């Protein structure tokens, strides 16, 4: 039964579910570490994601870093 409920929620309300989870994680980070440390953690996660995505897509790292400099 739970698998059907979770499947329905993820299919019908994907954006809301992702937003809820991101907000929950951000809230926990801010409570545990403070705003600036939590912001630093989030920026590191975003940078790591961007680098991993570039590796998966076989992009040139100079091109990726040029996007961040603009």
* Chain segment 11-50, per-residue pLDDT in tens: 888 888 888 888 899 999 999 999 999 999 999 988 888 7
Q: Indicate whether 62 pLDDT > 80.
A: no
Please give the tally of structural domains in the chain. Answer: 1
What is the domain extent for residue 36? 2-69
The 10s digit of each residue's pLDDT in 16-27 is 888 888 889 999
- Report the alpha-carbon distance of residue 2 to residue 9 in Å, rounded: 10
Q: Are 51 and 64 in contact (CB under 8 A)?
A: yes
- Report the alpha-carbon distance of residue 17 to residue 41 in Å, rounded: 21
Percentage of the chain lying above the pLDDT 90 cut? 30
């Amino acid at each position: 039964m739970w698998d059907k409920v979770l499947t329905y929620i993820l299919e019908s309300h994907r954006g809301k579910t992702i937003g809820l989870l991101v907000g929950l994680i951000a809230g926990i980070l801010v409570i545990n570490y403070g705003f600036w440390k939590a912001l630093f953690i989030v920026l590191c996660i975003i940078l790591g994601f961007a680098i991993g995505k570039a590796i998966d897509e076989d992009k040139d790292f100079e091109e990726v870093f040029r996007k961040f400099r603009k």
